[in-house]
Structures are given as C-alpha cells and as structure tokens.
Amino acid sequence: MKMNSKKMLTAIFALVLTFSMAGCGSKSSGTASSGVSEDKPTDISVTTITFGGTPSNDLEGLQEIGKKLNVKLHINYIPANNIGEKLNALLASKDLTDVMFVEYLESAPAYLSAVQQGAFWDLTPYIKDYPNLSQYPESVWNNLKVDGKIMSLPRIRPLDGHMAMSIRQDWLDKLGLKAPTTMDELYNVMEAFTKNDPDGDGKANTYGLAFVGAPTGLMPMFGAGNGWTQDSSGKLIPDWWTPQFKEGMAFLNKAYKAGLILPDFPVMKSTQLKEMLLQSKAGIAVNNIIDSYNYSQDLQKVKPEAKLTAYELPKASDGASHYTQATGYYGQLLINKKVSEDKLKKILEVYDYTATQEGYNLVAYGIKDKDYTVSADGFITQKEESKKLYDNSSSWLSGYFNKYARAEEPGIPADIRDYNHKLVDSISQVSVADPTIGFSPSEVYLENGADWTKKKQDMMVNVILGKNTLDEWDTFVRSYQEDSKFKKYVDEINEQYK
Amino acid sequence: MLQQDEDKMALQLADSSVAKTIGKRSWLKEWGVALRRDKYLYLLAAPGLLYFLIFKYVPLWGLLIAFKNYSVFLGFQASEWVGLQYFADFFSNPDFGLLFRNTMAISFLNILFFFPLPIILALLLNEARNMAFKRFVQTVVYLPHFLSWVIIVGICFLIFSQGTGIVNNLISDAGGKPIPFLTEPNYFWAMLTAQSIWKEAGWGTIIFLAALAGINPDLYEAARVDGASRWKQTIHVTLPGIRSTIIILLILRLGQVMDVGFEQIYLMMSAPVSHVADVFDTYVYRLGIQNGRFGYATAVGIFKSVVGLVLVVLANRLAKKFGEEGLY
C-alpha cells in the first residue's frame, strides 16, 4: 500500500515534470531550412507585411518563378496593423522564416540587436554579383547599412515625390486665385478656402489645410531640414531645435487660431487625411504627387468638376522650396543566418530576378495577357479578378527602382504624367537627405526614442492649438538641450558625423 | 531546468522525511489513502491543476527578465543580470507621479461610477414583469460588450469630434460654439468612464442577475406577508441577498486597480489630453514594446501586480473584519 501510493506520487510528479518541461522548452525547430539540392526545388519561406489581401502561394506568377529558378516560395503575410508585435513574437519564439520583413530596423530594436548579434546574413560581399540588385542607387544601399554593413535588402522606393502640395484646383479657379508660391500666399489661399465658401453650399464648412496629428511632415517645408540640420557652428542638431521649425509652428498656430485648419487634427488617424480631402472638407494637403491624381478620380465620382492638382511646395522665408529626400526604401528584408550559403545565393537570385520589370510584374500582376495587358505607352492594366488575386502580392519583393513611382500610376493620362515627371525632376534637384541615415544606432535613443518623440509631438500639437505658447516651446527645446540623456544622443550622432 | 531540480529535491525530501519522521510519515500515509480512495476525483481535477501549473505558474519564471537586460535573440538564459536597476529607473522617472495619478484617477472614477451601475441595472431588470421586455432589454444592453474598442472609439469620434461630429454640428447649427469634447483635458476622464459604462454595464449585470436568481423566494413571500412594499423588499431582501457577491466582485476589482484598459486609452489619447491620459499601460507600451525594453516593461508589470495584490489582501481583511465572507 505504501509502495503503491509512492508510485502514484512519482507518477504524478513525472507527469507534472513532462508538462512543465513542455511549457518551458523553447521550440528551436523553426521553419528555416538550410538544404539546397540540385534537382529538387529549393523551399524559400518569406514573412512580409500586407495592407490588404493575403494572396495564395499557388498564384500562377509565383509558380512561373518557381519553375524558372527551381524554387518553391512560401510567403506569410502579416497585416500591417500590429506587425511590430507579431514580428517580435516570431523572433522570441525563434520561429523565423528564411526571409524576414522589418519596417525599419531603427524602430525594431529587438531585430536590430539580433542583427548585431549575427542572426542574419551580411549581404555586403554578395550584392555585386547580382546585376539587377546592384543597380539600386548607391545612396539607398548606404542608407540601409548597419555598422557599415549591408544587412538587408531594401523594398525599394523612389527618393522623391512624397512631398508635394495637393490643392483643389476647382476651388482656386472658382475664387479666382492662383496656386500659392510663398508662405504668405499659402496663408491667403487657406483663408479664402475657409471663409469664401469655395464649395458654394452657403455654409462655412470648409478648411484651408488638412494634416493629421503632429505635423512633422510639414516642417521641412519651412526649411527645418530633414531630421538633423547643421547649426552655425557646423554641428548637427535635431531639426526641431531650428528657428525655421519654430517659424513653421508659428505659422500653423496663427492659421489654427484663424480657424483655417481642421480642428480635429490632433485626434485624427493618418487614413483620415484622405477622407478630409475626398469629403471636400479641406482644400490643401501635403502628400505624394500621385495622390492628387488618384484622389481626383474618387472625387469626380461625386463631383465631376472637382480636381486636385499637385504643385511644388511654397517657398519658405529664405526664398527657396525645401523638400526631404526619402530613404529610398520602405521595409527591409533580412535573410536568416540559418540558411546555407548556397541557399542564400538562391534567395538572392530570386530577388535579383524580381528586381527586373519582368520578374516584378510576374509577382505583382500575374501572367502577361492573361492577368494583365500592357498598353502602347507601357502602362499596365490588370483584369479585375486578377487584381483581387494579386492584391498585395508584391509586398515581399524588393522590386525595381523607378524614380517616378510616386508620380505615375497605371492608366494616368500622358499630360498629367509628364507634368508629374517634371515635378519630380525639379524636386530631386533640391531635396535633402537625412544626414544621419546609415549611422550606427545610438543605445540611448533606442531606449528612450519613443518617449522623446511622443513628448515632442505632444508639445507641437499643443503649441499649434495655443495651449502652449511659443515661449514655452523654447523652454521645452532648452530642457532637451540640457537633458543629459538627450545630450548624449546628440553627441553620439555628431561623433559619427565628423 | 530550475523547475526540474526543485521537483527532484521535493521528491528526495519526501523520501527522506518518510524514513525519518513519523509525523510526516503518517501525513503521507493519510494522503496516500485519500488519493486511492478518491482517485477518480483527483483524475477529474488533474486537467485543471495542470492548466494552472503550466499556463499560470511555470510562466512566472518569466518574471525574472525584470532583473535582466533581456535580449530576444540571446534568449532567457544568456541575457545579463541587471539587478533592481529597472525598478530604480522606473521610480526615479520624472513621469512616475503623473502616471500614478492618471492611473489611479481613472481607476477610481471607474469604481465609483461604473461599478454600482450593473447592480442597479440588474435590480431594475429583476423587477421587470414582462419576460419578453426583460429579455429584449438584456440583449440590447449586452450588445456593446461585443464591440471592440476600436469601433467604440470610432463611433465616439463620429459623434463628438469638433469639425465633423454630429453633436458639434447640431451645436453650431443652433448658433453655439463647438465644444472640444475629445481634446479638452477636463472632459477626458469623464469621457473614458462614460465609454466604459456604455460598453460594459449591461454585460456586468449577468453575475448579479445570477445572484438574484439564487435568493430564496420564501423570503419575499414572508416579507410580503409582513406588508413590505416593493421598495422595502429590495432594501431588506434583495440587496442583503447579493451583498456577498457585490463584496467579492469589489475585492476582485480592486486587484485590477492598476489596469485601466490599454486599448481604450491608447485609442483615445491625443496630444492635447496626453498629460491626463498617459497611464502605466501606455507608458509600458511606449518604452517596453515600442523600444523593445522587455525587461523594463516586466518590472513595471510586477509593480502593478504587487499594488493589486496588496489592495486585494487589504480589502479582504477589511471585509472579514466587518463580518463578510471575503475571497478566502
């Protein structure tokens, strides 16, 4: 009897142990496999972002690539909303696919430290062997570098065209105004759009300018620079320490007080900017060049005469138009160190092929003449049902570089396209890059950056709303100039700048 | 590993103590007898016990990352120890006072205004004569519980926003000045409380309705015989009947005093109200999740849990002192 009860006890403990071990044990299997054999297709798994559909892995376009390069592609799509947390969870569970998407390594510290600890392939020695990948602009490769090494493939995007003034042309015409070219003119047009009833419904329900949350994206327009600016002594300072930045806030504060800005801007989400334009609530916004054309298409369904036109930004007080240059990518693709070098080469081969227009179109649009047709002037028209099948299907690609990607769109009339191309050309002559991009990330920023950004943005909004004065903004800036942690951050940036 | 070692030790301990002490021996023997006698009951309980062991107790080891500079890639074991540094950082953080004030204020407003409502609503529903009406009202008040915060906050914007909201459109059509419901710090806590009430008050009635159903009908009969009105019956029969339920729920609620609903506040937060909206949960999200400082986030989490635990224990003592049942 005693023996029996002891046995029972042991059994229970054993059972408990097994289960608790199962609870503790980390799953190390993962999905990354390393083998490459000659005849069997290589399995390549990719995790990426999606803003809409999650296309099937059996798409004909993918199979075509599989046949051509002897690979089998497994793409996992994660919705954009909370991709950050999902990716962190995947990293923590060591359940990484061969290729992993991250939005920006700077904003994904867990991945950044994994990169620095050697969890992903250093691509620096390989890129030159791939003719199409190596055609990406040099500056984009530089922007991508972590501690001087290329650790990821860029999801390539144009450098310019994300910053233009979108303005209601029909409102301008109706009120007999011209597109503003200076800040004073901009203010006058905003005022006219607000007070002179441009939509002609007899109600004061329109606003001059629309933006959402803290208008960090508007500040470069006033000459504050792109993230970091040289001060008079040649030292780099954050753009929000500059007098130009303050000038921009004074402008917006004045406009807000006069009622020219949509009062809900602090609580609006970024998607609502488009709504405000489409609902004819606001007449001016700063956005991608192509947005003006796209939104016009939607607007005209309700109001045939409505039209948004993209213009160059108004000149700041120094008499010049100021633009930021983008990093040239949205999202980075890391390659798991667990894959063998042979397989790495296979993966790069796939990305090299899809960095051509031909390869890209296969993934993004499908089979030519079956899923899409190409018009005489080179524009692609996709069939409706293929559009659904291939929704977001190109989101795992690095793609091919098109300088004008933010200025054109399948089906755009030739005159608008040429006009937009000219806009990009003139913007690209003056746009400035962020001088700190490609720098090694600063430890103190990684730990505090999100908090700093939030406080700065809160302060910006409150100054525009008039809840804080411009003097208080100065005090706020000074408090950061004196803060020991922030000082350290600025010093670290400047050390690398020399 | 640790777990395994400890369990082994426990086994050895059990073994040696059986040999050594007679008192322990008889205890074990008794236990063995009980185990054999009720083996099917234990078997029935096993899945539940295992569930708690595996999903509640084993993960407790994870709390150790509050004392480590946890790197996801290096993993749990290899990350270096930092001792109490995160706790020191947290308490010396200049925002601590603000975060504490906001969390407490939102939480206590909730307890003060939200907690009694389901009780009142349950009492009202209990008095409803027409069953069809009662069922209908129940369904309607349960519904908001199933809407996510994203939707509720979205609806709230549609109704209360300054430029496009329905309420403000009415106000300005009537010649009034639009009211910044969403961006005025003075209204923010009230707004949060009202949203919670709208969403959860109906759902909260379920437990109370169940408790109400458990009251002996004889008591009402006796009260009626004694000439008690509906109101008197409520005061002297119904409320005392559900008093222990109310107290237990209140004690449990106190344990969550530091959790004020991340989703709701995060969605409602905007720059002008930020200084009344920033709570521990949003702070943890910003520093812990966005900046990837999981160790730090865990330290804040532990602090929240300790405060909750202390409050539960105190409230339970207090309840017992006043002769109530309490939690344990």
User: What's the number of domains chain A is made of?
Assistant: 2
Using the predicted structure, report yes or no on whether residue A174 has a pLDDT greater than 50: yes
CATH number at residue A101: 3.40.190.10
Using the predicted structure, report yes or no on whether residue A340 has a pLDDT greater than 90: yes
In a domain, A9, yes or no: no
Using the predicted structure, report yes or no on whether residue B21 has a pLDDT greater than 80: no
- Among A390, A405, A420, the domain boundary falls at A405
β-pairing, A42-50 with A71-79? parallel
Using the predicted structure, report yes or no on whether residue A60 has a pLDDT greater than 50: yes
Provide the shortest C-alpha distance from residue B310 to chain A (in Å).
29
pLDDT at A26: 38
* pLDDT category of residue A31 using cuts at 50, 70 and 90: very low
In a domain, A414, yes or no: no
Nearest-by-CA chain B residue for A15: B50
Residue B182 touches partner A, C-beta closer than 8 Å: yes
d(CA B91, CA B280): 12
Interface of B with A in 75-94 (CB under 8 A): 75-76
Contact A308, A166 (CB under 8 A): yes
Q: Are residues A319 and A222 in the same domain?
A: yes
Collapsing DSSP states into helix, strand and coil, what is residue A297? helix
On chain B, the residues whose CB falls within 8 A of the CB of A214 are 271
Query: Could you identify the residue written with the tokens 């441009």?
Result: A198
d(CA A262, CA A282): 7
Which stretch of A221-225, A345-349, A371-375 has the lowest confidence by average pLDDT? Answer: A371-375
Mean predicted confidence (pLDDT) in A113-136: 92
Which stretch of A216-225, A460-469, B20-29, B267-276 has the lowest confidence by average pLDDT? Answer: B20-29
d(CA A327, CA B222): 80
d(CA A143, CA A137): 10
Using the predicted structure, report yes or no on whether residue A20 has a pLDDT greater than 60: no
Q: Is B223 exposed, middle or buried (0-12, 13-18, 19+ CB in 10 A)?
A: middle
What's CA A245's distance to the chain center, in Å? 23
Residues of chain B with CATH 1.10.3720.10: 87-321
Q: Higher pLDDT residue, B23 or A335?
A: A335
Which stretch of A32-46, A247-261, B27-41, B262-276 has the lowest confidence by average pLDDT? Answer: A32-46
- DSSP conformation letters of A133-167: GGGS-HHHHHHH-BTTB--EEEEE--SS-S-EEEE
- Among A384, A405, A426, the domain boundary falls at A405
Interface of B with A in 112-171 (CB under 8 A): 157, 161-165
For residue range B137-155, what is the model confidence (pLDDT) as tens digits?
A: 999 999 999 999 999 999 9
Mean predicted confidence (pLDDT) in B53-58: 91
Mean pLDDT for all residues in chain B: 86
Contact B257, A75 (CB under 8 A): no
What proportion of chain B, given as a percentage, has pLDDT over 70? 92
Mean predicted confidence (pLDDT) in B63-70: 87
What residue type is assigned to position A457 of the chain?
Q
pLDDT at A2: 43
Q: Higher pLDDT residue, A9 or B114?
A: B114
- Closest CB to A264: pick one of B59, B163, B286: B163
d(CA A238, CA B190): 38
Q: Classify domain B87-321 at the CATH superfamily level.
A: MetI-like (1.10.3720.10)
In a domain, A361, yes or no: yes
Mean predicted confidence (pLDDT) in B47-53: 93
* pLDDT category of residue A391 using cuts at 50, 70 and 90: confident
Which stretch of A8-12, A149-153, A438-442 has the lowest confidence by average pLDDT? Answer: A8-12
For residue range B85-99, what is the model confidence (pLDDT) as tens digits?
A: 999 989 988 889 999
Query: Could you identify the residue written with the tokens 């213009």?
Result: A311
Task: Using alpha carbons, select from A402, A489, A484 the residue that is nearest to residue A446.
Answer: A489
CA distances B30 to A2, B24, B43, B284, Å, are 10, 10, 18, 49
In a domain, A312, yes or no: yes
Q: Are residues A304 and A187 in the same domain?
A: yes
pLDDT at A81: 77
Mean predicted confidence (pLDDT) in A437-452: 82
β-pairing, A207-209 with A282-287? parallel
Q: Are residues A84 and A137 in the same domain?
A: yes
* pLDDT category of residue A19 using cuts at 50, 70 and 90: very low
Query: Two tokens at A215?
Result: 């208008």
In a domain, A147, yes or no: yes
Using the predicted structure, report yes or no on whether residue A36 has a pLDDT greater than 80: no
Q: Are residues A56 and A198 in the same domain?
A: no
Residues 6+ apart with CB under 8 A from A175: A192, A193, A196, A198
Mean predicted confidence (pLDDT) in A339-351: 94
In a domain, A46, yes or no: yes
- DSSP conformation letters of B71-136: -TTTHHHHSEE-TTHHHHHHHHSTTHHHHHHHHHHHHHHIIIIITHHHHHHHHHHHH---HHHHHH
On chain A, the residues whose CB falls within 8 A of the CB of B75 are 26
pLDDT at B24: 62
Contact A40, B74 (CB under 8 A): no
Interface of B with A in 247-306 (CB under 8 A): 270-272, 274-275, 286-287, 289-293
User: Are B73 and A264 in contact (CB < 8 Å)?
Assistant: no
Mean predicted confidence (pLDDT) in A149-166: 93
Mean predicted confidence (pLDDT) in B80-88: 89
Using the predicted structure, report yes or no on whether residue A419 has a pLDDT greater than 80: yes
Residue B308 touches partner A, C-beta closer than 8 Å: no
Q: Are residues A203 and A140 in the same domain?
A: no
pLDDT at A414: 86
Q: Higher pLDDT residue, A377 or A205?
A: A205
β-pairing, A282-287 with A42-50? unpaired
Which stretch of A32-41, A204-213, A353-362, A371-380 has the lowest confidence by average pLDDT? Answer: A32-41
pLDDT at B291: 76
pLDDT at B11: 47
For residue range A233-276, what is the model confidence (pLDDT) as tens digits?
A: 989 999 999 999 999 999 999 999 999 998 889 988 877 888 88
Using the predicted structure, report yes or no on whether residue A48 has a pLDDT greater than 60: yes
Q: Higher pLDDT residue, B17 or B129?
A: B129
User: Are A113 and B287 in contact (CB < 8 Å)?
Assistant: no
* pLDDT category of residue B23 using cuts at 50, 70 and 90: low
Using the predicted structure, report yes or no on whether residue A370 has a pLDDT greater than 90: no
User: Are B54 and A22 in contact (CB < 8 Å)?
Assistant: yes
Contact A198, A189 (CB under 8 A): no
Provide the shortest C-alpha distance from residue B205 to chain A (in Å).
33
User: Are A2 and B32 in contact (CB < 8 Å)?
Assistant: yes
Residue A478's domain spans which residues?
164-325+434-497
Interface of B with A in 41-60 (CB under 8 A): 50, 53-55, 58-59
CA distances A367 to A304, A353, A426, Å, are 35, 15, 36
For residue A127, the number of C-alpha atoms closer than 13 Å in the C-beta half-sphere is 23
In a domain, A375, yes or no: yes
What proportion of chain A, given as a percentage, has pLDDT over 90? 57
- Closest CB to A23: pick one of B35, B54, B274: B54
For residue range B217-227, what is the model confidence (pLDDT) as tens digits?
A: 999 999 999 98
pTM to 2 decimals? Answer: 0.78
- Closest CB to A450: pick one of B58, B165, B290: B290
d(CA A76, CA B60): 32
pLDDT at A199: 86
Q: Are residues A62 and A194 in the same domain?
A: no
* pLDDT category of residue B287 using cuts at 50, 70 and 90: confident
User: Are B287 and A23 in contact (CB < 8 Å)?
Assistant: no
* pLDDT category of residue A7 using cuts at 50, 70 and 90: low
Using the predicted structure, report yes or no on whether residue A27 has a pLDDT greater than 50: no
On chain A, the residues whose CB falls within 8 A of the CB of B68 are none
pLDDT at B255: 86
Using the predicted structure, report yes or no on whether residue B256 has a pLDDT greater than 50: yes
- Among A368, A385, A405, the domain boundary falls at A405
For residue range B202-218, what is the model confidence (pLDDT) as tens digits?
A: 999 999 999 999 999 99
Measured N-to-C along each axis, helices B185-213 and B239-255 cross at an angle, to the nearest 10 degrees, of 130
Mean predicted confidence (pLDDT) in A8-25: 44
Q: Are residues A370 and A295 in the same domain?
A: no
Provide the shortest C-alpha distance from residue A483 to chain B (in Å).
12
A48-67 core/surface letters (b: 16 or more CB in 10 A; e: else): bbbeeeebebebbbbeebbe
d(CA B162, CA A264): 6
Mean predicted confidence (pLDDT) in A289-293: 93
User: Are B274 and A454 in contact (CB < 8 Å)?
Assistant: yes
For residue B192, the number of C-alpha atoms closer than 13 Å in the C-beta half-sphere is 30
Q: Which range, A21-30, A325-334, B171-180, is most confident?
A: A325-334
* pLDDT category of residue A482 using cuts at 50, 70 and 90: very high
d(CA A418, CA B217): 84
* pLDDT category of residue B71 using cuts at 50, 70 and 90: confident
In a domain, A20, yes or no: no
For residues B196, B202, B204 and B207, what is the CA-based torsion angle, rounded to 10 degrees?
Answer: 180
Cβ neighbours, 10 Å, residue B107: 19
Using the predicted structure, report yes or no on whether residue A316 has a pLDDT greater than 90: yes
pLDDT at B30: 85
Which stretch of A3-12, A466-475, B213-222 has the lowest confidence by average pLDDT? Answer: A3-12
Nearest-by-CA chain B residue for A85: B289
Q: Are residues A256 and A220 in the same domain?
A: yes
